[in-house]
Amino acid sequence: MGNVKTIEIHEDIFADNDRTAEEIRRKLRTQGTFFLNVMSAPGSGKTTLLTVLINRMKDSLHIGEMDVDIETAMDAQRVADRTGTVSLQIHNGGLCHIDADMVSRALQEYDTAGFDLLFLENIGNLVCPAEFDTGAHKNIMLFSVPEGDDKPLKYPLMFQVCDLVLITKTDTLEYFDFDMALARERIRQLNPGAVILPVSARTGEGMDAVIRWILDCRSQILADNTF
């Protein structure tokens, strides 16, 4: 009968990633940069929403944007063209996520000194990105009306790790069977502390509230010496 060797691992497999993420948070906070990780399924409207947000805020804040994709630089180019912001494209080698080490290496190539606000447009995926701490100070998730109000039941971790959930494309509510009250209830069951805001980048609904949330969180984070 063969021998079986047992190895006990007493450290979380994400421990190295989490340490790097903390280093990123401290570094960016020290230089006065508030870092937001934006996640969603493909097609939820990340690029469009970020474009609207940046254009509304760029006169008062120096803003940077990083974009993660498996291929092409189309989204990063759209943001740069439509906002005038310097955008960095990150190709992640075909992976379904970006982790803190990848972010750290990207930041070495992207001069963030002087940025008041930095967005990371994560890869479109509702599973893998939720598992990895990117070093962002806060996580934002976009959840679009066409996806259906049952998304929180199918992808619970994504909703659990986000500080702000934006229910996007509210201008399409009349065309889809989407129960806003039920969607809110399902999110609350997974994450009672999450802020939930219905928004439309097309009509502007809710965008002022998003900006207020960002500015309030930025003030709190930069004033918090524990980061």
pLDDT in tens, 100-146: 999 999 999 888 989 999 999 999 999 999 999 999 999 999 999 99
Q: Do residues 76 and 88 touch, judged by C-beta distance below 8 A?
A: yes
pLDDT in tens, 199-219: 999 999 999 999 999 999 999
Question: Is 67 strand, coil or helix?
Answer: strand
Global pTM reads: 0.91
Longest dimension (CA), the chain: 72
The strand order across the sheet containing 87-91 reads 87-91, 63-69, 117-121, 34-40, 138-144, 164-168, 195-198
Q: Can you tell me the distance from the alpha carbon of 146 to that of 84, in angstroms, rounded to the nearest whole number? A: 30
Q: Do residues 55 and 82 touch, judged by C-beta distance below 8 A?
A: yes
